[in-house]
Amino acid sequence: MFKLSLKSEYIPEVENEDYLIEDILQRAYIDEKLEYQYPKLQKDYMVIVSKSRGYMDVSEYKEYFKKLRKKRERKKKR
């Protein structure tokens, strides 16, 4: 089950969700949609990407959004 909670540690090298967040941030910096700020925690993005090899497991998120769509459809029928 997908749970939203505050995290105590940011580990993009290991956690898929953290990897996705880091990827989104890096792309936003490259596209100049965000102003670059020096990170509090030093993470080497290239090492993170090479370890993950671009693999992103989004199956958990697909299930979550599938349930949301079903819920919205039921509400619309009422």
pLDDT tens sequence across 16-29:
788 888 888 889 98
The confidence band for 33, taking pLDDT boundaries of 50, 70 and 90, is very high
- Which pLDDT score is estimated for 58? 75
What pTM was computed for the model? 0.47
Q: Where are the domains of the chain?
A: 16-77
Does residue 2 surpass a pLDDT of 60? Answer: no
Burial environment of residue 10 by CB neighbours within 10 A (0 to 12, 13 to 18, 19 or more)? middle
Q: How far is CA 23 from the centre of its chain?
A: 8
- Which pLDDT score is estimated for 31? 93
pLDDT tens sequence across 46-78:
777 776 655 666 787 888 889 889 888 888 887
- The dihedral through the CA atoms of 5, 72, 16, 43 has a sign that is negative
